[in-house]
Structure 1
Amino acid sequence: MHRNSYSLAALAAAAVPGLVPVRTSTIATPAEDLDVAGVVAEDGRRLMVLSPSTTASGVRLERDLRIADALTGTPLRTVIPPVLGYVKLPEGGRCAVTEAPVGRPLMLDDLQDSTEAARSLGQVLARIHTVPRYAAEAAGVESYTPETLHARHRARIDRVHAAGHLPAAVAQRWEGLLSDAGLWDFAPQFVHGDLSEECLFVSGHRISAVRDWSSSTVGDPAADLAWLVSSLDPERFDELYAAYREELPTDSHPRLMERAQALGEFAVAEWLEHGLEVEDEVIVADARGMIADLDADLAQLARDEAERAYDEMSAREDG
């Protein structure tokens, strides 16, 4: 069942001994089946209350907090708000109370407008990707081999292509990416798995908190970079990526950025497939529009390449 901020404050008081709520605020969350509120206590503490409204959201919340708890023993502890208490819900499951994330939700413009914010996120991503595999797996995180992940991408692209949704140029490009064995030869690492503006907080120009670890896996680190490489201006992403590489204790995969770009493109096929499965014409139209944009970009690249080849041939003939 859904709960308003006042009900969530009462649950917080039951979960945390001595807590006296004096003010509440609603907090946006991308999950419709998770109720979240901010609470200010009488002693000035700021907390966040999370209450699942379905069995599925309860499972996700438990997984999220179990993984987050495991990460408090890593360098990520500075960006993970600690859990302060739980209380059982009458319908089953538990409501959780954590310290409120410091700062405010990150907006993409924060990264576009600030080199410091972009570099800070790059550093946090590097710390995520260097979490020891044993620590992640001890928290119940699933592990995937490069072969398994590649097969998933292949199957999705094949399904969308077979259904007639891919222009020839896009299908050819994606086939070329999937056939490039060196691109997919990487060492699996711990990844957040669902990075977005909703799960990141910023204070000043620094990343102050990372939320929602329920989609975390040991898999392809490019998955956490795909959203950013497709959303940020190239110059700003290069700054983020430079900070990421500086923070890593070892060299990154030499083609990590290429793979992130590929996954950013493949995400369009995933979005289209989702729209088709749920029969949502708005999603389908949005995905088809993005595929059309990619097709136009590829056509322009082909024209530019043809012009360069012609200019080079003319220069040789003139010489």
Structure 2
Amino acid sequence: MPRSPLALAALTTAAVPGLDARSVRGGDATGDYDVAVVTAGDGTLWEVRAPRTPMAGAALEAEMELLESLHLYQEAGVLPFGVPRVAGSALLPEGGRAVVHKHIAGTPLEIESLRPGPGLAADLGRTLAAVHELPATVVEACGLPSYTAEVYRERRLVELDEAASTGRVPTPLLRRWEAALEDVALWRFRPVVVHGDLAADQVLVAGGRVAAVTGWSDARVADPADDLAWLLVAAPPEAVDSIMEAYQLRRTELHDTRLVDRALLVGELALARWLLHGVRQGLPEVVADAEAMLADLDEATREDSA
């Protein structure tokens, strides 16, 4: 059962001794977490996150360890953006911990407002490149997943088979995706550290630059296309070149000639994953939304082929 903002405020004061909580508001809950923002007596804003499930609790434990390492890279100037820094935690009655950190200033990225040139679009490219340049041991030491390119391709194939078994994916899309996943040359990449769940509300912007990146619970060593897919699909086409140019200039050993092709494919496959989420969780509105988007994509790809 979701925790109330007041219950989360109580956890905040338990996690950070001396914190004088004056008010609280519900935060943007993501995944299997309850979130609230607490205002202290001195005006400081604190964010508290509590897992709803044991699996989310285990992911949060790994994320806490990862954030400590990422903060060191930020202080060293390797990462050009902020990350949450855990200030304390409080044990939960059912097991696991609630985690508290100072609320990071910034507004969620408005991806549709991106423009070409050396501004925010280029900064996004440099931001992702900096993440992808981190040593794999940063993630692996925290017990987070690490995949080879071949294993990752096989995982995608399994997901596609499951999506096909629902009978809700247009046949032409399935054929296109199967052909792409069987194209071994497309999947020759060097696995890197990826955020794994990037979205506009996890990229905080201030002063026309990326101020912070949050939500690291799905970090892993995997395909760099995972982090680029959402940008290349959702950003205005005129801004994509600026993103990719800055990204490529920041990478030191980038020999992935099919990266953009794979990122666009990953963006399409996200619709199949959304469908599977709705089917697995028994959410008819999600299933209907996914089916509508799949139908639109099928029509668009048919027009492109024509």
Calculate the TM-score normalised by the size of structure 2: 0.89
Pair 1:123 & 2:122 matched:
no
Question: Would you say the 8 A contact 2:49–2:98 is kept in 1?
Answer: yes
Find the counterpart in structure 2 of residue 6 from structure 1.
6
Deviations 1:128-168 (A, max 9, x none): 11110122211212111111111122223234345544444
Secondary structure in structure 1 of the residue aligned to 2:143: coil
Find the counterpart in structure 1 of residue 191 from structure 2.
188
Find the counterpart in structure 2 of residue 251 from structure 1.
254
| Percent identity over paired residues | 38
Deviations 1:14-39 (A, max 9, x none): 222332223333211222x4222222
- Cα separation, 1, equivalents of 2:13 and 2:284: 44
Question: Would you say the 8 A contact 1:190–1:218 is kept in 2?
Answer: yes
Q: How does 1:59-98 map to 2 (within 5 A)?
A: 59-74=58-73, 75-76=78-79, 78-98=81-101
Question: Would you say the 8 A contact 2:115–2:238 is kept in 1?
Answer: no
Secondary structure in structure 2 of the residue aligned to 1:202: strand
Secondary structure in structure 2 of the residue aligned to 1:23: strand
Alignment CA distance shift 1:273-1:51 (3 Å): closer
Find the counterpart in structure 2 of residue 307 from structure 1.
none
Find the counterpart in structure 2 of residue 209 from structure 1.
212
Question: Would you say the 8 A contact 1:21–1:39 is kept in 2?
Answer: yes
When the two chains are superposed, the root-mean-square deviation of aligned CA atoms in Å is: 2.3
Alignment CA distance shift 1:139-1:182 (3 Å): same
Find the counterpart in structure 2 of residue 42 from structure 1.
41
Find the counterpart in structure 1 of residue 20 from structure 2.
20
Deviations 1:178-214 (A, max 9, x none): 2222110111101111111232211121111211211
Deviations 1:53-105 (A, max 9, x none): 43333223222222212222222384112111122233332222112112123
Aligned-pair distance for 1:115?
A: 6.4
Question: Would you say the 8 A contact 1:13–1:20 is kept in 2?
Answer: yes
Letter in 1 for 2:247: Y
Find the counterpart in structure 2 of residue 292 from structure 1.
295
Question: Would you say the 8 A contact 2:81–2:213 is kept in 1?
Answer: no
- Cα separation, 2, equivalents of 1:276 and 1:5: 30
Find the counterpart in structure 2 of residue 52 from structure 1.
51
Find the counterpart in structure 2 of residue 100 from structure 1.
103
Aligned-pair distance for 1:171?
A: 2.9
Pair 1:240 & 2:239 matched:
no
Find the counterpart in structure 2 of residue 141 from structure 1.
144
Question: Would you say the 8 A contact 2:116–2:240 is kept in 1?
Answer: no
Alignment CA distance shift 1:252-1:237 (3 Å): farther
Letter in 1 for 2:20: V
Unaligned runs of 5+ in 2: none
Aligned-pair distance for 1:245?
A: 1.4
Deviations 1:244-272 (A, max 9, x none): 11222233511111000111111222222
Aligned-pair distance for 1:110?
A: 4.5
Alignment CA distance shift 1:39-1:274 (3 Å): closer
Question: Would you say the 8 A contact 1:114–1:205 is kept in 2?
Answer: no
Find the counterpart in structure 1 of residue 281 from structure 2.
278
* Structure 1 stretch displaced more, 162-171 or 264-273: 162-171
Secondary structure in structure 1 of the residue aligned to 2:204: strand
Alignment CA distance shift 1:22-1:164 (3 Å): closer
- Cα separation, 2, equivalents of 1:254 and 1:246: 14
Structure 1 runs of 4+ with >4 Å offset: 112-115
Question: Would you say the 8 A contact 1:67–1:140 is kept in 2?
Answer: no
Calculate the TM-score normalised by the size of structure 1: 0.85
- Cα separation, 2, equivalents of 1:112 and 1:25: 33
Secondary structure in structure 2 of the residue aligned to 1:72: helix
